[in-house]
Each structure stands twice: as structure tokens, then as C-alpha cells.
Amino acid sequence: MYNLKNHAIFFCAFIAFFCTSNSFSQELSIDHVIILVPDLDKSIEKYKDHGFTLKKGRKHENGIVNSHIKFKNKSSIELISVSDKPKDDISKDYYNLKKNKEQGVFLAISGFKIREIEKKIESLDIKYEIINTKYWNYLTFKSELGLNHIFFIEYKFEVQDSLNLFTHKNHSEKIKSINIDGNDLTITLLKHLGLKYSVVNDKENKHSFLTKNGTIVVENNSITIRPYIKKIVFKNLKNEKTYEMNF
């Protein structure tokens, strides 16, 4: 009876751990992808011409201006440009990445409070930084090669957008998948978070991670420089591809 009781306790503990880990991963979502552009107005016109509805952002005090492409599943694209006179660390980071072409520079993931993310990854030997602001909190990996292009975000309040912002003439309803540069550390982090994992193409070293609202594909190319977003695929409700961005 003693052994059976111990086995039962172990089994219940295992089930509790599995369910907690599984529910955690099921809530992680693609929040938004940041595209750094040299001229925001030109990029807005370009994506309007390509059938997207855009929400105009504003000029921030630090010199950043932005605009958004939004979807009903709460994922979005954020177009960002920065002036030649950045005023804080965030705008300076964007300024240092600035080139004369569009670049996918960040993938933001949401679904949990930053403290919960911190607890989840504390067993990993990864350097991270937490930034608290008036509107949201971030957990970033500025000094970790392979994670520089990923951050977690926690909103302090929810923005209610007009429904017309979710309707696009090219019939895009969602971000289906995002291809990103990566290395073994990128894969280790996403696996550790419990996201459903599969190898898309072993020969090309592509690894797929399923989130609540889309797929992250890591192209493990043993990067030696800062990684970037490589491709974003959009689909309609019938799961047909409607648009593709390549960087």
C-alpha cells in the first residue's frame, strides 16, 4: 500500500506539472512583429497599395514614429521609423539598426505577466533585462546572440480598436507564420517555454514552434551577428496565403 500511495502521489504531481506547463505554452501568442523602415510615410502608402488597412500611430517624445497593421487574433505588424536625433536607449537601439531598407527587427511574444516568464526561464543560463514603463513591461535579451530579436511584453491595459482596422482589402485575417534567424539558444528557449515543436526541414535546419495564434519558424543557421526576422506569411480564414513579406 505504501508503494502504491507513493506512486499515486508521484503520478498526480506529474500530471499537475504537465498540465501547468501545457497551459502555459497554450497561452503564449505572437503579439507583434516590428519592421524598421527608413521612411514611414512611404511604407504606409506601400502597404495600403498592397491591400492592408493601417492604424496611424504618433510621434513619440524619443523620436520614434509608428503605424500598425492589426488582426482580430490580436497579432499585428508595427512599422517603426526613428529620427536622426534619438533621445533615449530604445530610440538609440532602433537608430543603430537603421538602414536604407525595410528590416524585420523584433518579434514580440505575449500571454503572461513578465514575472511569470522570468520564473519560467530562470533555470536557463540566459541574461535578460526587464523594462517597466507606464503602458507595458518588457523582458528582453539584448546581450544574448540568438535572442536579441525576441522580447516578451505585458500590457498594463487593453486598447480597444475600431473593427474596421481588422478588415483588409487583400483578405488577410491573420499572421500565419514568422520565419526568424536563430541558433541553438533560440531553439532552447522556445522549447523550454513548452511550445509544440517539430522539425520543418532537417536539411535546411528549420524548426517550428506553434503558438496560440501562429507559428514561429526558427532557421538555425549558426548566426554570428544580430539575428533578424526573415519572412512573414499572412492567410485568410480559409487558410489560403494572401500576402508574404520578405526581408
Number of Cβ within 10 Å of residue 244's Cβ equals 12
**Which grid cell is 5?**
500511495
Strands 64-70, 76-82: parallel, antiparallel or unpaired by DSSP? antiparallel
pLDDT in tens, 38-77: 999 999 999 999 999 999 998 888 889 999 999 999 999 9
Percent with pLDDT over 70 in the chain: 90
pLDDT at 175: 97
Q: Are strands 174-182 and 150-155 parallel, antiparallel or unpaired?
A: unpaired
Q: How far apart are CA 113 and CA 36, in angstroms?
A: 26
Q: Any idea which of 2-6, 160-164, 166-170 has the lowest mean pLDDT?
A: 2-6
**pLDDT-derived band at 241, boundaries 50, 70, 90:** very high
What is the reported pLDDT for 196? Answer: 95
Q: How far apart (Å, rounded) are the C-alpha atoms in residues 51 and 49?
A: 5
Cell numbers at 24, concatenated: 502555459
Q: In this predicted model, what pLDDT tens digit does every residue of 167-212 receive, in sequence order?
A: 999 999 999 999 999 999 999 999 999 999 999 887 889 999 999 9
Q: Report the predicted TM-score, pTM, of the whole model to 2 decimal places.
A: 0.88
Residue 7: the pLDDT is 54
Q: Of 214, 230, 140, nearest to 181 (Cα)? A: 230
Mean pLDDT of the chain: 90
Residue 178's beta-bridge partner residues?
216, 232
Residue 2 pLDDT class (50, 70, 90 cuts):
very low
* Interaxial angle between packed helices 114-121 and 184-192, expressed in degrees from 0 to 180 and rounded to the nearest 10: 110
> Within 13 Å of residue 150, how many CA atoms lie on the same side as its CB?
25
The CA distances from residue 69 to 1, 100, 137, 244, in Å, are: 61, 22, 22, 14
Alpha carbons 245 and 224: distance in angstroms, whole number: 24
Cα 105–Cα 168–Cα 76 angle in degrees, nearest 5:
30
pLDDT of residue 128: 97
**How far is the C-alpha of 22 from the C-alpha of 70, rounded, in Å?**
28
What tens digit of pLDDT does each residue of 38-48 get?
Answer: 999 999 999 99
Supply the pLDDT for residue 176: 96
3-state class (DSSP) for residue 184: helix
pLDDT value, residue 90: 87
Could you give all domains of the chain from N- to C-terminal order, each with its CATH number?
Answer: 27-246 (3.10.180.10)
185 close to 144: Cβ distance less than 8 angstroms: yes
Residues 6+ apart with CB under 8 A from 123: 192
> Which residue(s) pair with 18 in the sheet?
none
What integer pLDDT is reported at residue 85 of this predicted model?
A: 86
